Amino acid sequence: MDEKLQKTFFHLEKGNFSALEEMLGGPDGFDRQIVSWFDEGRLNDHPEMLAEALSCACMLGRYVTARHLLEAGVEPYTGMKAWLAGPHWAASGGHPEITRLFIDRGISLEVENMYGGTVLGQALWSAVNEHKPSHAEVIEILIDAGAIVEHGTLEWWNEQDIPDTETKVRVVNALALASSR
């Protein structure tokens, strides 16, 4: 195994996803390298690292890599060395296009990450603690796809200090609609 692949596995093992992307030459370099290694079969004997590569791509918002690995059959919920699997990372990072990839494949939205949160729970937590305006869209997508909204979520959300009024209102509306179903 060459040194670059060894360093990649090290970063995947440790959850150093941003450092890995930088090492591989940024977003485009990440996509090119992971897809190339996959297509060459260099990841075939390393299913754990392949699962982590999917999680990494989801956390970084690397749609090309995430789509390629999913289309090749990489299991979405196996890569949790960094406590979240791909679907949780996509929701956490506010990546609606990757979130849709998972939904289009019919994955369960109720699988819990290692903190005990579902994909919707992760999106809500991240919208409060690591806010991105795109979290509102991700939350709407998840609710529209049938994610279970736990009792009391709307009340909890209303108590949160969200830095963006549009996100606050969009999520209130999505949660209220889910509660009325």
Share of the chain above pLDDT 90, in %: 85
Beta strands in 25-164 (DSSP E): none
- Pick one of 1.25.40.20, 1.10.3720.10, 3.40.50.300, 3.40.462.20 as the CATH number of 85-181: 1.25.40.20
Question: What confidence score (pLDDT) does residue 84 get?
Answer: 87
Residue 113 near residue 85 (C-beta atoms within 8 A): yes
Q: Is the pLDDT of residue 181 over 80?
A: no
Q: Is the pLDDT of residue 59 over 90?
A: yes
| Amino acid occupying residue 76 | P
Question: What confidence score (pLDDT) does residue 64 get?
Answer: 96
Arithmetic mean of pLDDT, 93-114: 94
How far apart, in whole angstroms, are the C-alpha atoms of residue 85 and residue 82? 8
Mean predicted lDDT score pLDDT of the chain: 94
pTM of the model: 0.92
pLDDT in tens, 77-102: 887 777 889 999 999 999 999 999 99
Residue 12 near residue 52 (C-beta atoms within 8 A): yes
Question: What confidence score (pLDDT) does residue 1 get?
Answer: 74
> Smallest Cα–Cα separation from 98: which of 50, 65, 51?
65
Q: Is the pLDDT of residue 113 over 90?
A: no
Expressed in angstroms, the distance from the first to the final Cα of the chain is 54
| Amino acid occupying residue 171 | V
Arithmetic mean of pLDDT, 139-143: 98
Q: Is the pLDDT of residue 114 over 90?
A: no
Would you list the domain boundaries of the chain? 1-82, 85-181
Question: What confidence score (pLDDT) does residue 35 get?
Answer: 97
